[in-house]
């Protein structure tokens, strides 16, 4: 089974396509989609343009890596960052629509679910998650930027669930590639 994990962002969206088994996963391709934020001074133009760019880049990525399942991290809303969460919700909406239009199975995972699946603790910090990712893929160091490691963690969690929505899955299962820019 081939799983594409996505760590949503409006400037950097991490992605990782993996296959194999949870015990022996392989990276097919991993990287970031970098969205042009040069119009940050004019948010009324910047966000819609980035969303359109995100949709096109995600569609191309899906066509290139041909996943069977796409896992997207859910939103974590902190009271101090509600405005950021609203903007992220726009990005997630575009992603979910693009995934559904491609006819792919979608798994949405909460940040705490991902941490628990990988480390055994929903309160694990970023460094602990990155260490599990590094170890499970046999990498010399954690992938950078952190968005790539997060996308790998999302894909691993979905893989350990068998690509099923929360509570329904079990385990299931190439080369290494990278894209970024």
Active site residues: 7, 73, 147
SS (H, E, C) 28-91: EEEEEEECCCCCCCCHHHHHHHHHHHHHHHHHHHHHHHCCCEEEEECCCCCHHHHHHHHHHHHH
Distance CA 138, CA 25 (A): 10
């Amino acid at each position: 089974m081939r799983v594409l994990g996505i760590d949503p962002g409006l400037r950097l969206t991490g992605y990782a396509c993996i296959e194999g088994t949870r015990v022996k996963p392989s990276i097919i391709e991993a990287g970031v989609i970098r969205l042009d934020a040069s119009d940050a001074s004019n948010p009324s133009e910047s966000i819609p343009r980035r969303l359109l760019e995100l949709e096109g880049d995600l569609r191309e990525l899906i066509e290139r890596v041909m996943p069977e399942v796409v896992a997207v991290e859910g939103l974590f809303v902190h009271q101090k960052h509600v405005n950021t969460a609203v903007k992220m919700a726009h990005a997630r909406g575009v992603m979910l629509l693009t995934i559904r239009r491609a006819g792919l199975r979608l798994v949405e995972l909460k940040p705490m679910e991902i941490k628990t699946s990988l480390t055994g603790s929903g309160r694990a910090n970023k460094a602990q998650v990155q260490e599990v990712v590094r170890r499970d893929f046999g990498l010399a160091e954690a992938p950078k930027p952190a968005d790539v490691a997060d996308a790998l963690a999302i894909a691993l969690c979905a893989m350990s669930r068998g690509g099923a929505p929360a509570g329904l899955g079990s385990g299931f299962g190439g080369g290494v590639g990278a894209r970024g820019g």
